[in-house]
Amino acid sequence: MKFGKELTSQMVQEWQEAYMDYNQLKNLLKDIMRFRQNITQQSSGPVEKPGLKRRLTLYRAFSGLTGLKGSQMKNEDEVILVSAVQQEGSENYQTMFLRSSDDGGEHELVFFRRLDDEFNKVVKFYKAKVQEMKVEADELSKQMDALIALRFKVDKPEYFAEKVAPKVKVAINAANSSPPATVFASINGKNQGARHMDSIQEVEMSTEEISAPMKGFRPAPLEVLDHVKINVDPDTPVSTLRNVIMSSKSDLSFSKDEVRKAEEKLTQAFVEFYQQLRLLKSYSFLNMLAFSKIMKKYDKITSRNASKSYLEMVDKSYLGSSDEVNRLIYRLEATFVKHFANGNRRKGMKSLKPNHKTERHRTTFFLGLLTGCSIALVVAIVIAIHAGNLLNHEGRELYMNNIFPLYSLFLYIILHMIMYGANMYYWRRFRVNYPFIFEFKQGTELGFREILLVASGLSVMALAAVLSNLDMEMDPRTERFQTLTELVPLGLVMLVFSITICPFNIIYRSSRFFLIRCAWHCLCAPLYKVTLSDFFLADQLTSQVQAFRSLQFYACYYALGDFKTRNSNQCLNSNVYDLLYILVAIIPFWSRVLQCLRRLFEEKDLSQGFNGLKYFSTIVALVMRTIYDQRRGMFWKIMAASTSGVTTIFNTYWDIVRDWGLLRKNSKNPWLRDKLLISNKAVYFVAIVVNILLRLVWMQLVLDFNEAPFLHKKAMVAVVACLEILRRGIWNFFRLENEHFNNVGKYRAFKTVPLPFHYDR
């Protein structure tokens, strides 16, 4: 693999603009090479005059332009001079090219100017990030002071009865002691006669190493607890309601539950901080390697020896000489092992280092196997329908009204999973960091193969159930099993539900529980803090209205209807069912309204209010269309058409402009946005047109386009629902692309972990 591709594959995508632009510098070197090749061809002269060619070659060899080692200039170290210049309070590096008078020197001068710009950009970014890491390390050190004091207060409260003032020092700040130290804590008491708590010390330093940091030693007393409050997160609806009335910060009650929660939060903070340090270290290494590669290419093309002096400057710069990140990494590891792994380094490092997901060949194998089985079952169902002439069967209407809605539920779920798997494939291909955006647990996130594997497995079960249902109906020998035949779809739903909530570590338990947790947050909105994964799932559910109605039909058919005779009219014709038919459909939209209101209250972002208004208009349009479908009449038709028209315009604008970030008039890419993942701009315009067309699918309900002679009304409803799922799948890709570029613009590559303690002073 060429280094340019390797650099792109290993860089932090959210920091991609802060890396050295290797490709652009390489293009400048290509310009230099092309110029030198043209000079060489002009100097060589016509081919039919070998004598003249020989004389020019001798002249060029004498003038030092051939690039041979023996013809290199005597003062090779004077090709460039690199100096540091103070500008606007920061140190910038400038390279003076001493051979600008040579042929092609202006091209090399442009190269070095661009090289200096890239190097100064990298150093500036690296310095800023290191300073951020140092500030965060100081904050974590203060948090550890409070945690150690809280542990001691809870474990040995008798010492506090005598007003002992022990002092704790946690050294994870790189500015203090030397690298061999792990964690150092000293305990002193004010009263000579008072009891003293056990000293928390791990001495791995020599006398000189101890004395140096102790000169400026400013221990943190255990009275720090007098100035600390516990940060109360709204983890539950009850705590959220409590925080509406009281402050989100409460006094310490010195309970073991507080210690446990504080340890959990600090563990997450340490792990996240450790990943930041590792990526920052990788950033430094990759950029230094990139500058080394590009200078060696320059030497090879120009036959000069400028890389030595330039790389010496790189090594002496802050990027190459600063060891603060390494010291922070070392001290964080030591602190974490000491206080969170009971001194077990293997256990501690296993918690700190990320779990890399490994690709398994069996996943691909079973995906292919189950996909093939699904295709075979589809063919078998088509043959069974044709052989039994079921399309013209007298029971066709009864089957479509009662059995088809039961199995169409699985069609909606499988299609949505296929679209999501396709999205994940393209996100991965275009290097969108979707695990970070969705806040998946590292090492357990599913890839597109796993998603498609689950979809193919569910399709096999659903298609097998459909085929068995048809077979039992057509076979006279199984007519007495009518009850069993009708219970097949219910059994399949119960099986899928059981697998979803199964507590055992099978079938991607971590991802299943993550989905359940997000769904619960959506259901309990606005009592939970809204994260991207929560409102993203709620948006998916807004495209599954027919799936919710199918679940309602399950309850109607099996609980209130006579499923043995396929008679659900008693339930379907009730006013309660019609009312629930509307309420069930608006649940995901109402959840999004409440989520928007929660974000409006917390973030003070007025756009969230307009977003909530958008979903409310969708609820109104959905209610009007449903009432028109149930009652008909010109009045309801006008109401359905007008409200649907307004919400279609509103939703289309929000999709394209706000969620996708497109239609920017003054962008570099006209009517799109400045940054695009897909190089073919026509894809974006096609997506815009398709989104608008699929947003108009409601017209088939209002204008009675569903009266197709070759398609049953229930089948038409399923087709419309599938089109909405396809539209949502397209929306997903461009929505996450826009979110990715928002993170890139803010260099946001890590999630913010709330800390357990709040200092009043």
For residues 510-532, average pLDDT = 92
For residues 238-242, average pLDDT = 63
Please state the φ and ψ torsions of residue 389, each to the nearest 5 degrees: 50, 45
DSSP summary character for residue 19:
S
Predicted local distance difference test score (pLDDT) of residue 128: 92
Q: Would you place residue 74 in the very low, low, confident or very high pLDDT band (cuts 50, 70, 90)?
A: very low
Contact predicate 80/72, CB 8 Å: no
Please state the φ and ψ torsions of residue 503, each to the nearest 5 degrees: -80, -10
**CA within 13 Å, CB half, 256:** 2
Collapsing DSSP to helix, strand or coil, 419 comes out as helix
Q: Pick the residue with more confidence: 391 or 639?
A: 639
| Residue 2 token pair | 């060429």
Beta-bridged to residue 169, according to DSSP, are none
The mean-pLDDT minimum among 179-188, 467-476, 503-512, 691-700 falls in 179-188
N-terminal to C-terminal alpha carbon distance within the chain? 54
Q: Pick the residue with more confidence: 114 or 251?
A: 114
Q: How many CB atoms lie within 10 A of CB 477?
A: 7
Q: Pick the residue with more confidence: 413 or 750?
A: 413
Predicted local distance difference test score (pLDDT) of residue 198: 34
Distance of CA 96 to the CA centre of its chain: 43
Spell out the SS3 assignment of 606-661: HHHHHHHHHHHHHHHHHHHHHHHHHHCCHHHHHHHHHHHHHHHHHHHHHHHHHHCC
Q: Would you place residue 358 in the very low, low, confident or very high pLDDT band (cuts 50, 70, 90)?
A: confident
Q: Is the pLDDT of residue 67 over 80?
A: no
For residues 512-539, average pLDDT = 93
For residues 152-168, average pLDDT = 59
DSSP summary character for residue 664:
B
Contact predicate 698/707, CB 8 Å: no
Collapsing DSSP to helix, strand or coil, 194 comes out as coil
Contact predicate 508/458, CB 8 Å: no
Q: Is the pLDDT of residue 654 over 50?
A: yes
Q: Pick the residue with more confidence: 102 or 277?
A: 277
pTM of the model: 0.82
Cα 32 to Cα 294, 297, 300, distances in angstroms: 13, 11, 11
User: Measuring CA to CA, which residue among 199, 212, 205, 194 is closest to residue 158?
Assistant: 194
The helix (run of H) or strand (run of E) holding residue 219 is: none
- For the chain, give the mean pLDDT: 81
3-state helix, strand, coil in the chain (%, to 5): 70, 5, 25
| Residue 606 token pair | 């007025």
Q: Is the pLDDT of residue 646 over 80?
A: yes
CA 393, CA 125: separation in Å to the nearest integer?
72
Q: Would you place residue 202 in the very low, low, confident or very high pLDDT band (cuts 50, 70, 90)?
A: very low
Q: pLDDT tens across 4-51, in order? A: 888 888 888 889 889 999 999 999 999 888 888 887 777 665 544 444
Q: pLDDT tens across 316-330, in order? A: 999 988 899 999 999
Q: Pick the residue with more confidence: 185 or 605?
A: 605
**Range with the largest mean pLDDT of 32-36, 225-229, 446-450, 712-716:** 446-450
Contact predicate 222/168, CB 8 Å: yes
CA 410, CA 489: separation in Å to the nearest integer?
10
Q: Is the pLDDT of residue 686 over 80?
A: yes
Residue 468 identity (one-letter amino acid): S
Any idea how long the chain is?
Answer: 761
Residue 651 identity (one-letter amino acid): N
Q: Would you place residue 739 in the very low, low, confident or very high pLDDT band (cuts 50, 70, 90)?
A: very high
Cα 15 to Cα 354, 421, 720, distances in angstroms: 19, 26, 41
Peptide bond into 179 cis (omega under 30): no
Predicted local distance difference test score (pLDDT) of residue 236: 66
Residue 279 identity (one-letter amino acid): L
Predicted local distance difference test score (pLDDT) of residue 277: 93
The helix (run of H) or strand (run of E) holding residue 324 is: helix 324-340
For residues 546-573, average pLDDT = 81
**Range with the largest mean pLDDT of 204-208, 307-311, 687-691:** 687-691
Predicted local distance difference test score (pLDDT) of residue 130: 94
Report the share of the chain in percent with pLDDT over 70. 80
Q: Pick the residue with more confidence: 52 or 522?
A: 522
Contact predicate 144/172, CB 8 Å: yes
Q: Is the pLDDT of residue 191 over 80?
A: no
DSSP-derived pairing of the beta strands 249-251 and 90-97:
unpaired
Q: pLDDT tens across 623-637, in order? A: 998 888 888 788 888
Predicted local distance difference test score (pLDDT) of residue 727: 95
Contact predicate 11/286, CB 8 Å: yes
**CA within 13 Å, CB half, 109:** 11
Contact predicate 290/7, CB 8 Å: yes
CA 265, CA 334: separation in Å to the nearest integer?
18
Locus of tokens 């590669």: 293
Residues contacting 289, CB < 8 A, separation 6+: 3
CA 405, CA 421: separation in Å to the nearest integer?
25
Q: Pick the residue with more confidence: 516 or 305?
A: 516
Q: Would you place residue 222 in the very low, low, confident or very high pLDDT band (cuts 50, 70, 90)?
A: low
Q: Pick the residue with more confidence: 154 or 158?
A: 154
Q: Is the pLDDT of residue 94 over 60?
A: yes
Q: Where are the domains of the chain?
A: 3-131+275-352, 153-254, 361-759
CA 347, CA 108: separation in Å to the nearest integer?
53
Beta strand ranges found along 377-470 (DSSP E): none
CA 412, CA 546: separation in Å to the nearest integer?
8
CA 374, CA 456: separation in Å to the nearest integer?
7
Q: pLDDT tens across 263-285, in order? A: 888 998 999 999 999 999 999 99
Beta-bridged to residue 97, according to DSSP, are 80
For residues 235-250, average pLDDT = 62
Contact predicate 311/294, CB 8 Å: no
Beta-bridged to residue 567, according to DSSP, are 562
| Residue 98 token pair | 């001493």
Q: Pick the residue with more confidence: 700 or 649?
A: 649
Find the farthest-apart pair of alpha carbons in the chain and give their distance in angstroms, rounded.
107
| Residue 497 token pair | 């539900």
Beta strand ranges found along 428-558 (DSSP E): none
Q: Pick the residue with more confidence: 655 or 475?
A: 655
Q: Would you place residue 702 in the very low, low, confident or very high pLDDT band (cuts 50, 70, 90)?
A: low
| Residue 305 token pair | 């020896």
Q: Is the pLDDT of residue 186 over 50?
A: no
**CA within 13 Å, CB half, 689:** 5
Q: Would you place residue 251 in the very low, low, confident or very high pLDDT band (cuts 50, 70, 90)?
A: low
Predicted local distance difference test score (pLDDT) of residue 475: 64
**Degrees to nearest 5, angle at CA 586 with 584 and 591:** 110
Predicted local distance difference test score (pLDDT) of residue 211: 41
752: left (phi over 0), alpha (psi -120 to 50) or beta: beta
For residues 666-689, average pLDDT = 91
Q: How many CB atoms lie within 10 A of CB 373?
A: 16
Cα 85 to Cα 89, 90, 361, distances in angstroms: 10, 8, 55
Predicted local distance difference test score (pLDDT) of residue 148: 86
| Residue 12 token pair | 């932090």
Q: Is the pLDDT of residue 207 over 70?
A: no
